[in-house]
Protein backbone atom coordinates (compact mmCIF):
# COMPACT_ATOMS: atom_id res chain seq x y z
CA UNK A 1 0.00 0.00 0.00
CA UNK A 2 1.52 3.32 -1.02
CA UNK A 3 0.84 6.84 0.23
CA UNK A 4 -1.69 7.54 -2.49
CA UNK A 5 -3.83 4.54 -1.56
CA UNK A 6 -3.53 5.60 2.05
CA UNK A 7 -4.79 9.13 1.35
CA UNK A 8 -7.49 7.83 -0.99
CA UNK A 9 -8.91 5.44 1.59
CA UNK A 10 -8.72 8.00 4.41
CA UNK A 11 -10.44 10.65 2.27
CA UNK A 12 -13.26 8.34 1.17
CA UNK A 13 -13.65 7.25 4.78
CA UNK A 14 -13.81 10.82 6.07
CA UNK A 15 -16.51 11.67 3.53
CA UNK A 16 -18.56 8.58 4.38
CA UNK A 17 -17.91 9.16 8.07
CA UNK A 18 -20.18 12.21 7.97
CA UNK A 19 -23.08 9.70 7.99
CA UNK A 20 -21.70 8.17 11.18
CA UNK A 21 -21.42 11.66 12.58
CA UNK A 22 -25.15 12.25 11.95
CA UNK A 23 -26.08 8.94 13.58
CA UNK A 24 -23.77 9.70 16.51
CA UNK A 25 -25.33 13.16 16.92
CA UNK A 26 -28.75 11.52 17.13
CA UNK A 27 -27.73 9.19 19.96
CA UNK A 28 -25.83 11.93 21.75
CA UNK A 29 -28.66 14.51 21.55
CA UNK A 30 -31.15 12.13 23.17
CA UNK A 31 -28.59 11.23 25.78
CA UNK A 32 -27.84 14.89 26.43
CA UNK A 33 -31.47 15.82 26.93
CA UNK A 34 -32.89 12.74 28.66
CA UNK A 35 -29.80 10.84 29.84
CA UNK A 36 -31.24 7.83 28.07
CA UNK A 37 -30.06 5.73 25.15
CA UNK A 38 -32.51 5.18 22.32
CA UNK A 39 -31.32 1.89 20.84
CA UNK A 40 -34.11 1.95 18.23
CA UNK A 41 -32.59 5.07 16.66
CA UNK A 42 -30.59 3.27 13.94
CA UNK A 43 -33.63 1.16 13.07
CA UNK A 44 -35.80 4.30 12.80
CA UNK A 45 -33.20 5.85 10.49
CA UNK A 46 -33.21 2.90 8.09
CA UNK A 47 -37.01 2.59 8.37
CA UNK A 48 -37.29 6.25 7.30
CA UNK A 49 -35.40 5.40 4.13
CA UNK A 50 -37.82 2.50 3.55
CA UNK A 51 -40.73 4.90 3.95
CA UNK A 52 -39.25 7.06 1.20
CA UNK A 53 -38.98 4.19 -1.29
CA UNK A 54 -42.50 3.10 -0.38
CA UNK A 55 -43.72 6.59 -1.28
CA UNK A 56 -41.52 6.70 -4.38
CA UNK A 57 -43.14 3.44 -5.56
CA UNK A 58 -46.46 5.31 -5.97
CA UNK A 59 -45.28 8.74 -7.04
CA UNK A 60 -42.13 9.16 -9.13
CA UNK A 61 -39.89 11.53 -7.20
CA UNK A 62 -36.56 13.25 -7.78
CA UNK A 63 -33.87 11.60 -5.65
CA UNK A 64 -33.43 14.68 -3.46
CA UNK A 65 -37.13 14.70 -2.53
CA UNK A 66 -36.82 11.00 -1.70
CA UNK A 67 -34.12 11.97 0.82
CA UNK A 68 -36.41 14.57 2.38
CA UNK A 69 -39.25 12.07 2.68
CA UNK A 70 -36.84 9.66 4.38
CA UNK A 71 -36.05 12.38 6.92
CA UNK A 72 -39.71 13.16 7.55
CA UNK A 73 -40.62 9.47 7.80
CA UNK A 74 -37.87 8.82 10.29
CA UNK A 75 -38.84 11.94 12.26
CA UNK A 76 -42.38 10.59 12.56
CA UNK A 77 -41.10 7.16 13.63
CA UNK A 78 -38.83 8.81 16.22
CA UNK A 79 -41.86 10.61 17.65
CA UNK A 80 -43.70 7.29 17.91
CA UNK A 81 -40.67 5.78 19.65
CA UNK A 82 -40.79 8.64 22.15
CA UNK A 83 -44.48 8.03 22.83
CA UNK A 84 -44.14 4.25 23.07
CA UNK A 85 -40.81 3.92 24.88
CA UNK A 86 -40.25 7.06 26.91
CA UNK A 87 -43.35 9.15 27.48
CA UNK A 88 -45.26 6.70 29.62
CA UNK A 89 -42.47 4.49 30.92
CA UNK A 90 -40.95 5.34 34.33
CA UNK A 91 -37.77 7.25 33.59
CA UNK A 92 -36.33 6.59 37.02
CA UNK A 93 -35.56 3.00 36.06
CA UNK A 94 -32.55 3.06 33.71
CA UNK A 95 -33.32 -0.40 32.32
CA UNK A 96 -37.01 0.13 31.50
CA UNK A 97 -36.53 2.54 28.60
CA UNK A 98 -33.41 0.75 27.40
CA UNK A 99 -35.22 -2.59 27.13
CA UNK A 100 -38.22 -0.88 25.56
CA UNK A 101 -36.00 0.52 22.80
CA UNK A 102 -34.40 -2.91 22.24
CA UNK A 103 -37.92 -4.23 21.71
CA UNK A 104 -38.66 -1.35 19.37
CA UNK A 105 -35.49 -2.03 17.37
CA UNK A 106 -36.56 -5.64 16.82
CA UNK A 107 -40.16 -4.60 16.07
CA UNK A 108 -39.09 -2.10 13.40
CA UNK A 109 -36.69 -4.66 11.95
CA UNK A 110 -39.48 -7.27 11.79
CA UNK A 111 -41.90 -4.85 10.14
CA UNK A 112 -39.31 -4.03 7.48
CA UNK A 113 -38.53 -7.70 6.84
CA UNK A 114 -42.25 -8.48 6.65
CA UNK A 115 -43.04 -5.60 4.30
CA UNK A 116 -40.18 -6.38 1.89
CA UNK A 117 -40.21 -10.19 2.20
CA UNK A 118 -36.63 -9.81 3.39
CA UNK A 119 -35.46 -8.72 -0.07
CA UNK A 120 -32.99 -5.84 -0.39
CA UNK A 121 -34.54 -2.82 -2.11
CA UNK A 122 -32.63 -0.66 -4.60
CA UNK A 123 -32.08 2.91 -3.46
CA UNK A 124 -31.39 5.86 -5.79
CA UNK A 125 -27.88 7.27 -5.68
CA UNK A 126 -27.13 10.91 -6.35
CA UNK A 127 -24.18 12.16 -8.40
CA UNK A 128 -22.83 8.61 -8.64
CA UNK A 129 -21.69 9.30 -12.22
CA UNK A 130 -19.46 12.18 -11.17
CA UNK A 131 -15.81 11.50 -10.43
CA UNK A 132 -13.27 14.24 -9.86
CA UNK A 133 -9.72 13.20 -10.65
CA UNK A 134 -6.27 14.55 -9.90
CA UNK A 135 -3.98 11.97 -11.46
CA UNK A 136 -4.49 8.75 -9.54
CA UNK A 137 -6.30 10.48 -6.70
CA UNK A 138 -10.04 10.96 -7.07
CA UNK A 139 -13.21 11.98 -5.29
CA UNK A 140 -16.50 10.13 -5.75
CA UNK A 141 -19.40 12.47 -6.52
CA UNK A 142 -21.85 10.56 -4.34
CA UNK A 143 -19.51 10.75 -1.36
CA UNK A 144 -19.03 14.50 -1.85
CA UNK A 145 -22.79 14.87 -1.98
CA UNK A 146 -23.17 12.87 1.25
CA UNK A 147 -20.54 14.99 2.94
CA UNK A 148 -22.08 18.30 1.85
CA UNK A 149 -25.61 17.22 2.79
CA UNK A 150 -24.40 16.08 6.22
CA UNK A 151 -22.58 19.38 6.69
CA UNK A 152 -25.74 21.31 5.84
CA UNK A 153 -27.74 19.19 8.28
CA UNK A 154 -25.18 19.89 11.02
CA UNK A 155 -25.17 23.63 10.35
CA UNK A 156 -28.97 23.70 10.49
CA UNK A 157 -28.88 21.71 13.74
CA UNK A 158 -26.34 24.09 15.29
CA UNK A 159 -28.41 27.08 14.22
CA UNK A 160 -31.46 25.46 15.76
CA UNK A 161 -29.64 24.72 19.03
CA UNK A 162 -27.90 28.07 19.45
CA UNK A 163 -30.18 30.58 17.76
CA UNK A 164 -33.78 29.50 18.33
CA UNK A 165 -36.28 29.25 21.15
CA UNK A 166 -36.43 25.47 20.76
CA UNK A 167 -32.63 25.38 21.04
CA UNK A 168 -32.74 27.29 24.33
CA UNK A 169 -35.33 24.82 25.62
CA UNK A 170 -33.30 21.80 24.48
CA UNK A 171 -30.09 23.01 26.08
CA UNK A 172 -31.85 24.15 29.25
CA UNK A 173 -33.51 20.75 29.72
CA UNK A 174 -30.20 19.00 29.04
CA UNK A 175 -28.29 21.09 31.56
CA UNK A 176 -30.75 21.59 34.37
CA UNK A 177 -34.22 20.08 33.94
CA UNK A 178 -35.70 21.46 37.18
CA UNK A 179 -34.60 25.02 36.43
CA UNK A 180 -35.85 24.59 32.86
CA UNK A 181 -39.32 23.73 34.15
CA UNK A 182 -39.22 26.68 36.53
CA UNK A 183 -38.62 28.92 33.51
CA UNK A 184 -41.81 27.53 31.96
CA UNK A 185 -40.17 25.02 29.62
CA UNK A 186 -42.17 21.81 29.19
CA UNK A 187 -40.05 18.67 29.56
CA UNK A 188 -42.48 16.53 27.54
CA UNK A 189 -42.66 18.88 24.61
CA UNK A 190 -38.91 19.48 24.53
CA UNK A 191 -38.11 15.77 24.78
CA UNK A 192 -40.60 14.92 22.05
CA UNK A 193 -39.24 17.62 19.73
CA UNK A 194 -35.68 16.47 20.38
CA UNK A 195 -36.73 12.97 19.29
CA UNK A 196 -38.26 14.37 16.12
CA UNK A 197 -35.09 16.36 15.34
CA UNK A 198 -32.86 13.32 15.84
CA UNK A 199 -35.30 11.37 13.65
CA UNK A 200 -34.96 13.91 10.84
CA UNK A 201 -31.16 13.64 11.01
CA UNK A 202 -31.35 9.85 11.18
CA UNK A 203 -33.68 9.59 8.18
CA UNK A 204 -31.27 11.67 6.16
CA UNK A 205 -28.44 9.40 7.26
CA UNK A 206 -30.50 6.31 6.43
CA UNK A 207 -31.21 7.62 2.93
CA UNK A 208 -27.54 8.42 2.38
CA UNK A 209 -26.54 4.94 3.52
CA UNK A 210 -29.05 3.47 1.07
CA UNK A 211 -27.74 5.74 -1.69
CA UNK A 212 -24.08 4.95 -1.12
CA UNK A 213 -24.60 1.20 -0.70
CA UNK A 214 -27.11 1.17 -3.55
CA UNK A 215 -29.64 -0.97 -1.67
CA UNK A 216 -31.59 -0.89 1.55
CA UNK A 217 -31.58 -3.99 3.70
CA UNK A 218 -32.63 -4.74 7.27
CA UNK A 219 -29.08 -6.03 7.69
CA UNK A 220 -27.92 -2.41 7.80
CA UNK A 221 -29.68 -1.73 11.10
CA UNK A 222 -27.39 -3.41 13.59
CA UNK A 223 -24.06 -2.20 12.14
CA UNK A 224 -25.40 1.37 12.02
CA UNK A 225 -26.60 1.15 15.62
CA UNK A 226 -23.27 -0.20 16.80
CA UNK A 227 -21.25 2.37 14.84
CA UNK A 228 -23.46 5.16 16.17
CA UNK A 229 -22.86 4.03 19.75
CA UNK A 230 -19.11 3.74 19.12
CA UNK A 231 -19.10 7.27 17.73
CA UNK A 232 -20.89 8.43 20.91
CA UNK A 233 -18.33 6.79 23.17
CA UNK A 234 -15.37 8.14 21.21
CA UNK A 235 -16.90 11.60 20.95
CA UNK A 236 -18.04 11.64 24.55
CA UNK A 237 -21.72 10.99 25.33
CA UNK A 238 -23.68 14.22 25.09
CA UNK A 239 -21.08 16.12 23.03
CA UNK A 240 -22.14 17.16 19.53
CA UNK A 241 -18.71 18.41 18.37
CA UNK A 242 -17.34 15.13 19.77
CA UNK A 243 -19.84 13.11 17.72
CA UNK A 244 -18.91 15.01 14.55
CA UNK A 245 -15.17 14.51 14.97
CA UNK A 246 -15.62 10.90 16.11
CA UNK A 247 -17.95 10.11 13.20
CA UNK A 248 -15.43 11.34 10.66
CA UNK A 249 -12.61 9.58 12.49
CA UNK A 250 -14.46 6.25 12.65
CA UNK A 251 -15.27 6.56 8.93
CA UNK A 252 -11.62 7.21 8.06
CA UNK A 253 -10.36 4.53 10.43
CA UNK A 254 -12.65 1.78 9.12
CA UNK A 255 -12.05 2.69 5.50
CA UNK A 256 -8.30 2.60 6.08
CA UNK A 257 -8.57 -0.91 7.50
CA UNK A 258 -10.93 -1.86 4.69
CA UNK A 259 -8.20 -0.95 2.20
CA UNK A 260 -5.37 -2.25 4.35
CA UNK A 261 -6.80 -5.49 5.74
CA UNK A 262 -9.97 -6.20 3.74
CA UNK A 263 -13.69 -6.09 4.48
CA UNK A 264 -13.80 -9.15 6.73
CA UNK A 265 -11.36 -7.68 9.24
CA UNK A 266 -12.52 -4.06 9.10
CA UNK A 267 -15.03 -4.06 11.94
CA UNK A 268 -12.71 -5.95 14.27
CA UNK A 269 -10.35 -2.98 14.29
CA UNK A 270 -13.23 -0.58 14.84
CA UNK A 271 -14.17 -2.58 17.93
CA UNK A 272 -10.57 -2.51 19.15
CA UNK A 273 -10.65 1.26 18.73
CA UNK A 274 -13.72 1.32 20.98
CA UNK A 275 -11.90 -0.61 23.72
CA UNK A 276 -8.85 1.62 23.45
CA UNK A 277 -11.07 4.64 24.04
CA UNK A 278 -13.00 3.05 26.88
CA UNK A 279 -9.75 2.30 28.67
CA UNK A 280 -7.76 5.46 28.02
CA UNK A 281 -10.37 8.12 27.27
CA UNK A 282 -13.69 6.93 28.70
CA UNK A 283 -15.05 10.48 28.51
CA UNK A 284 -14.31 10.80 24.80
CA UNK A 285 -11.74 12.61 22.67
CA UNK A 286 -12.37 16.01 24.20
CA UNK A 287 -12.00 14.86 27.78
CA UNK A 288 -8.69 14.72 29.57
CA UNK A 289 -7.13 11.30 29.82
CA UNK A 290 -8.21 9.60 33.00
CA UNK A 291 -6.33 7.36 35.32
CA UNK A 292 -8.35 4.45 36.60
CA UNK A 293 -8.47 4.57 40.37
CA UNK B 1 -52.05 37.05 47.27
CA UNK B 2 -51.03 33.42 47.75
CA UNK B 3 -53.10 31.10 49.91
CA UNK B 4 -52.02 27.58 50.71
CA UNK B 5 -54.63 25.52 52.48
CA UNK B 6 -54.36 21.99 53.84
CA UNK B 7 -51.64 21.02 51.35
CA UNK B 8 -50.22 17.53 51.76
CA UNK B 9 -47.41 16.09 49.64
CA UNK B 10 -45.86 12.62 49.81
CA UNK B 11 -42.79 11.01 48.31
CA UNK B 12 -43.98 7.44 48.03
CA UNK B 13 -44.92 6.50 51.57
CA UNK B 14 -43.09 9.40 53.18
CA UNK B 15 -45.32 12.34 53.98
CA UNK B 16 -43.30 15.52 53.53
CA UNK B 17 -46.14 18.01 54.01
CA UNK B 18 -49.08 17.22 56.27
CA UNK B 19 -51.72 19.86 55.74
CA UNK B 20 -49.82 23.12 55.40
CA UNK B 21 -51.78 26.36 55.91
CA UNK B 22 -50.19 29.68 55.11
CA UNK B 23 -50.72 32.84 53.13
CA UNK B 24 -48.49 35.47 51.58
CA UNK B 25 -49.65 39.12 51.60
CA UNK B 26 -49.14 41.21 48.49
CA UNK B 27 -46.30 43.71 48.67
CA UNK B 28 -44.47 42.24 51.64
CA UNK B 29 -41.62 39.90 52.42
CA UNK B 30 -42.82 36.66 53.93
CA UNK B 31 -40.33 34.22 55.31
CA UNK B 32 -40.62 30.50 55.90
CA UNK B 33 -38.29 29.12 58.55
CA UNK B 34 -37.80 25.60 59.74
CA UNK B 35 -35.26 22.87 60.35
CA UNK B 36 -33.84 20.64 57.63
CA UNK B 37 -36.38 18.16 56.41
CA UNK B 38 -39.36 20.18 57.60
CA UNK B 39 -40.66 20.35 54.03
CA UNK B 40 -39.75 23.93 53.05
CA UNK B 41 -38.34 23.05 49.63
CA UNK B 42 -41.18 20.59 49.03
CA UNK B 43 -43.66 23.39 49.63
CA UNK B 44 -41.84 25.72 47.21
CA UNK B 45 -41.67 23.02 44.54
CA UNK B 46 -45.37 22.27 45.02
CA UNK B 47 -46.41 25.90 44.64
CA UNK B 48 -44.20 26.16 41.53
CA UNK B 49 -45.98 23.14 40.02
CA UNK B 50 -42.99 20.77 39.94
CA UNK B 51 -44.60 18.55 42.59
CA UNK B 52 -48.28 17.74 42.86
CA UNK B 53 -50.08 17.87 46.19
CA UNK B 54 -51.93 14.79 47.39
CA UNK B 55 -54.63 17.03 48.81
CA UNK B 56 -55.25 20.68 49.55
CA UNK B 57 -55.64 23.91 47.57
CA UNK B 58 -53.23 26.57 46.37
CA UNK B 59 -54.75 29.88 45.26
CA UNK B 60 -52.90 32.78 43.70
CA UNK B 61 -54.59 36.14 43.06
CA UNK B 62 -57.94 34.46 43.75
CA UNK B 63 -57.41 31.76 41.15
CA UNK B 64 -56.89 28.11 41.83
CA UNK B 65 -53.43 26.98 40.70
CA UNK B 66 -53.42 23.59 42.45
CA UNK B 67 -51.71 20.96 40.31
CA UNK B 68 -51.07 23.41 37.49
CA UNK B 69 -48.03 22.79 35.26
CA UNK B 70 -44.93 24.88 36.04
CA UNK B 71 -45.37 26.89 32.81
CA UNK B 72 -48.90 27.82 33.90
CA UNK B 73 -47.67 28.91 37.31
CA UNK B 74 -44.93 31.06 35.73
CA UNK B 75 -47.52 32.61 33.41
CA UNK B 76 -49.73 33.54 36.39
CA UNK B 77 -46.78 35.48 37.83
CA UNK B 78 -44.89 33.22 40.25
CA UNK B 79 -41.17 32.59 39.79
CA UNK B 80 -39.01 30.40 42.02
CA UNK B 81 -35.29 30.82 42.60
CA UNK B 82 -34.49 27.20 43.43
CA UNK B 83 -32.30 25.91 46.20
CA UNK B 84 -28.65 25.60 45.09
CA UNK B 85 -29.36 28.20 42.34
CA UNK B 86 -29.45 25.61 39.49
CA UNK B 87 -28.09 27.91 36.80
CA UNK B 88 -27.62 26.42 33.31
CA UNK B 89 -23.88 25.76 33.64
CA UNK B 90 -22.93 25.47 29.96
CA UNK B 91 -24.87 28.55 28.89
CA UNK B 92 -23.42 32.00 29.27
CA UNK B 93 -24.95 34.58 31.59
CA UNK B 94 -26.91 36.27 28.81
CA UNK B 95 -28.38 32.96 27.59
CA UNK B 96 -29.39 32.06 31.15
CA UNK B 97 -31.37 35.29 31.34
CA UNK B 98 -32.97 34.70 27.94
CA UNK B 99 -33.99 31.21 29.09
CA UNK B 100 -35.65 32.82 32.10
CA UNK B 101 -37.93 34.72 29.72
CA UNK B 102 -38.67 31.53 27.74
CA UNK B 103 -42.44 31.99 27.66
CA UNK B 104 -42.07 35.43 26.05
CA UNK B 105 -39.33 34.49 23.56
CA UNK B 106 -40.26 34.75 19.92
CA UNK B 107 -43.32 36.93 20.42
CA UNK B 108 -41.80 39.78 22.44
CA UNK B 109 -38.11 39.92 21.54
CA UNK B 110 -37.67 43.67 22.05
CA UNK B 111 -39.37 43.54 25.43
CA UNK B 112 -37.14 40.66 26.54
CA UNK B 113 -34.04 42.57 25.47
CA UNK B 114 -35.20 45.60 27.47
CA UNK B 115 -35.68 43.36 30.48
CA UNK B 116 -32.15 41.99 30.06
CA UNK B 117 -30.81 45.57 30.06
CA UNK B 118 -32.91 46.33 33.12
CA UNK B 119 -31.62 43.27 34.98
CA UNK B 120 -28.05 44.20 34.04
CA UNK B 121 -28.60 47.64 35.59
CA UNK B 122 -29.59 45.96 38.81
CA UNK B 123 -26.74 43.45 38.65
CA UNK B 124 -23.77 45.22 37.00
CA UNK B 125 -21.51 42.31 37.87
CA UNK B 126 -23.62 40.03 35.66
CA UNK B 127 -23.27 42.46 32.77
CA UNK B 128 -19.47 42.32 33.12
CA UNK B 129 -19.70 38.56 32.89
CA UNK B 130 -22.38 38.48 30.20
CA UNK B 131 -20.44 36.13 27.89
CA UNK B 132 -19.02 33.96 30.64
CA UNK B 133 -20.39 30.44 31.16
CA UNK B 134 -22.63 30.34 34.22
CA UNK B 135 -20.86 27.27 35.57
CA UNK B 136 -17.64 29.27 35.96
CA UNK B 137 -19.21 32.00 38.12
CA UNK B 138 -18.62 32.20 41.88
CA UNK B 139 -21.39 31.04 44.21
CA UNK B 140 -22.53 34.60 44.92
CA UNK B 141 -22.61 35.47 41.23
CA UNK B 142 -24.55 32.29 40.47
CA UNK B 143 -27.08 33.26 43.14
CA UNK B 144 -27.47 36.70 41.57
CA UNK B 145 -27.86 35.08 38.17
CA UNK B 146 -30.53 32.73 39.53
CA UNK B 147 -32.42 35.72 40.95
CA UNK B 148 -31.95 37.68 37.72
CA UNK B 149 -33.15 34.72 35.66
CA UNK B 150 -36.29 34.43 37.79
CA UNK B 151 -36.91 38.17 37.37
CA UNK B 152 -36.84 37.68 33.59
CA UNK B 153 -40.19 35.89 33.98
CA UNK B 154 -41.63 39.21 35.27
CA UNK B 155 -42.99 37.67 38.46
CA UNK B 156 -45.45 39.36 40.79
CA UNK B 157 -44.45 36.89 43.47
CA UNK B 158 -40.78 35.93 43.71
CA UNK B 159 -40.12 32.81 45.75
CA UNK B 160 -36.56 32.15 46.89
CA UNK B 161 -35.35 28.90 48.39
CA UNK B 162 -32.40 29.48 50.71
CA UNK B 163 -30.63 32.19 48.73
CA UNK B 164 -27.89 32.49 51.37
CA UNK B 165 -26.96 28.80 51.29
CA UNK B 166 -23.20 28.29 51.21
CA UNK B 167 -22.34 31.96 50.67
CA UNK B 168 -19.84 34.12 52.57
CA UNK B 169 -21.37 36.56 55.10
CA UNK B 170 -20.62 39.65 53.00
CA UNK B 171 -22.31 38.09 49.96
CA UNK B 172 -25.27 37.06 52.11
CA UNK B 173 -25.68 40.70 53.14
CA UNK B 174 -25.59 41.74 49.50
CA UNK B 175 -28.23 39.16 48.59
CA UNK B 176 -30.49 40.39 51.37
CA UNK B 177 -29.99 43.98 50.25
CA UNK B 178 -31.11 42.89 46.76
CA UNK B 179 -34.16 41.20 48.27
CA UNK B 180 -35.13 44.43 50.07
CA UNK B 181 -34.56 46.47 46.91
CA UNK B 182 -36.71 44.15 44.81
CA UNK B 183 -39.45 44.33 47.39
CA UNK B 184 -39.22 48.11 47.53
CA UNK B 185 -39.71 48.12 43.75
CA UNK B 186 -43.00 46.28 44.14
CA UNK B 187 -42.21 42.56 43.94
CA UNK B 188 -43.77 40.42 46.64
CA UNK B 189 -41.20 38.07 48.17
CA UNK B 190 -41.70 34.64 49.69
CA UNK B 191 -38.44 33.46 51.15
CA UNK B 192 -37.24 30.17 52.62
CA UNK B 193 -34.29 30.65 54.90
CA UNK B 194 -32.07 28.82 57.33
CA UNK B 195 -30.37 32.08 58.25
CA UNK B 196 -33.12 33.15 60.68
CA UNK B 197 -31.17 36.15 61.92
CA UNK B 198 -30.97 37.74 58.45
CA UNK B 199 -34.46 36.65 57.48
CA UNK B 200 -36.11 38.21 60.53
CA UNK B 201 -34.44 41.54 59.73
CA UNK B 202 -36.12 41.87 56.32
CA UNK B 203 -39.36 39.91 56.74
CA UNK B 204 -42.75 41.46 57.53
CA UNK B 205 -44.21 38.13 58.41
CA UNK B 206 -42.84 34.69 59.05
CA UNK B 207 -44.00 31.11 59.33
CA UNK B 208 -42.31 28.26 61.14
CA UNK B 209 -42.61 24.92 59.37
CA UNK B 210 -41.89 21.90 61.51
CA UNK B 211 -42.37 18.30 60.46
CA UNK B 212 -44.58 19.13 57.53
CA UNK B 213 -46.89 21.53 59.33
CA UNK B 214 -46.93 25.24 60.11
CA UNK B 215 -46.32 25.48 63.85
CA UNK B 216 -46.15 29.24 64.25
CA UNK B 217 -47.01 32.30 62.24
CA UNK B 218 -46.52 35.92 63.17
CA UNK B 219 -44.49 39.07 62.80
CA UNK B 220 -40.79 39.25 63.66
CA UNK B 221 -40.59 40.10 67.37
CA UNK B 222 -43.66 38.09 68.30
CA UNK B 223 -41.39 35.23 69.19
CA UNK B 224 -37.94 35.88 70.65
CA UNK B 225 -35.22 35.51 68.06
CA UNK B 226 -33.61 33.00 70.37
CA UNK B 227 -36.65 30.77 70.24
CA UNK B 228 -37.12 31.19 66.48
CA UNK B 229 -33.53 30.21 65.85
CA UNK B 230 -33.78 27.24 68.18
CA UNK B 231 -36.86 26.01 66.42
CA UNK B 232 -35.73 26.93 62.91
CA UNK B 233 -32.53 25.00 63.26
CA UNK B 234 -33.43 22.20 65.59
CA UNK B 235 -37.18 21.79 65.54
CA UNK B 236 -39.75 22.15 68.27
CA UNK B 237 -38.45 19.24 70.27
CA UNK B 238 -35.23 21.09 71.06
CA UNK B 239 -37.18 23.76 72.91
CA UNK B 240 -39.70 21.67 74.81
CA UNK B 241 -39.66 18.19 76.13
CA UNK B 242 -41.34 15.94 73.60
CA UNK B 243 -44.72 14.83 74.93
CA UNK B 244 -44.70 11.06 74.72
CA UNK B 245 -43.02 10.37 71.46
CA UNK B 246 -44.98 12.02 68.63
CA UNK B 247 -42.71 15.06 68.17
CA UNK B 248 -39.97 13.45 66.15
CA UNK B 249 -36.41 12.83 67.10
CA UNK B 250 -34.80 15.14 69.64
CA UNK B 251 -31.86 15.95 67.37
CA UNK B 252 -34.20 17.44 64.80
CA UNK B 253 -32.82 15.31 61.95
CA UNK B 254 -36.20 14.10 60.87
CA UNK B 255 -35.80 13.58 57.14
CA UNK B 256 -33.09 14.03 54.59
CA UNK B 257 -32.89 17.60 53.31
CA UNK B 258 -36.23 18.78 52.12
* pLDDT tens-digit series, residues B166-186: 899 999 999 999 999 999 999
A181 touches chain B (CB under 8 A): yes
CB contact under 8 A, A168 and B98: yes
Nearest to A168 among B49, B75, B102 (CB): B102
A290 located within any domain: no
Cα A216-A67-A52 angle, rounded to 5 deg? 55
A207 located within any domain: yes
Q: Give the nearest chain B residue to A174 (CA atoms).
A: B88
CB contact under 8 A, A169 and B102: yes
In this prediction, residue A183 has a pLDDT band, given cuts at 50, 70 and 90, of very high
In this prediction, residue A261 has a pLDDT band, given cuts at 50, 70 and 90, of confident
A287 located within any domain: no
Nearest to B70 among A165, A175, A182 (CB): A182
A177 located within any domain: yes
CATH of the domain at A84: 1.10.3470
A285 located within any domain: no
In this prediction, residue A1 has a pLDDT band, given cuts at 50, 70 and 90, of low
Query: How many residues belong to chain B?
Result: 258
Compute the nearest-CA separation of A170 from chain B (Å): 11
For testing contact with chain A, the best of B42, B70, B82 (most A CBs within 10 A): B70
pLDDT for B251? 45
Checking ipTM against 0.90, whether it exceeds it is no
In angstroms, rounded to a whole number, what is the distance separating the alpha carbons of residues A30 and B251?
Answer: 44
A186 touches chain B (CB under 8 A): yes
Going along chain B from its start, the domains and CATH numbers come out as: 1-77+158-173+187-258 (3.40.50.300), 89-154 (no CATH)
CB contact under 8 A, B153 and A180: no
- Position B44 pLDDT exceeds 60: yes
- Position B232 pLDDT exceeds 90: no
CB contact under 8 A, A172 and B98: no
Query: How many structural domains does chain A have?
Result: 1
Query: What's phi and psi for A107, nearest 5 deg?
Result: -60, -50
CB A255 within 8 A of CB A263: no
pLDDT for A151? 96
A288 located within any domain: no
In this prediction, residue B236 has a pLDDT band, given cuts at 50, 70 and 90, of low
Instruction: Say what percent of chain A tops pLDDT 70.
Output: 98
Instruction: Say what percent of chain A tops pLDDT 90.
Output: 71
Which residues on chain A are in Cβ contact (under 8 Å) with B95?
Answer: 168, 171
Nearest to B82 among A168, A171, A178 (CB): A178
A179 touches chain B (CB under 8 A): yes
A172 touches chain B (CB under 8 A): yes
A178 touches chain B (CB under 8 A): yes
A164 located within any domain: yes
pLDDT for B237? 52
Average pLDDT across chain B, whole number: 87
Which domain does A222 fall in, by range? 3-280
Q: Give the nearest chain A residue to B46 (CA atoms).
A: A182
For testing contact with chain A, the best of B88, B95, B106, B143 (most A CBs within 10 A): B88
Q: Give the nearest chain A residue to B78 (CA atoms).
A: A182
Q: How many CB pairs under 8 A join A and B?
A: 69
A291 located within any domain: no
CB A173 within 8 A of CB A185: yes
Amino acid sequence: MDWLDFFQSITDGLLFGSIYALIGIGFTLIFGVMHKINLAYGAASIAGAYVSIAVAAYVPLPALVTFLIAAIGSGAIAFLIYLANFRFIPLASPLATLMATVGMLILIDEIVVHATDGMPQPYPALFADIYIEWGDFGLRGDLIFIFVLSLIAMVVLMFMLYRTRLGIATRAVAQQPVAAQLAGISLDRTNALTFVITGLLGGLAGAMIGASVGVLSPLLVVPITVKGLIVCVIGGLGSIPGAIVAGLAVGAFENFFLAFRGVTERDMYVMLLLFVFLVFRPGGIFSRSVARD
Amino acid sequence: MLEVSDVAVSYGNIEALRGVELSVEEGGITCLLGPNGAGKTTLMMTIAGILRPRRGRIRFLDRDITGMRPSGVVKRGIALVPENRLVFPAMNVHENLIAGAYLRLGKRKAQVQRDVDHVFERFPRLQERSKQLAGTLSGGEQQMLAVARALMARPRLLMMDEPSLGLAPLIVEEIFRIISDLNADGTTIFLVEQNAHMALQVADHFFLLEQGQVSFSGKPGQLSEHEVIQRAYLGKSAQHDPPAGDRGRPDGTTHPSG
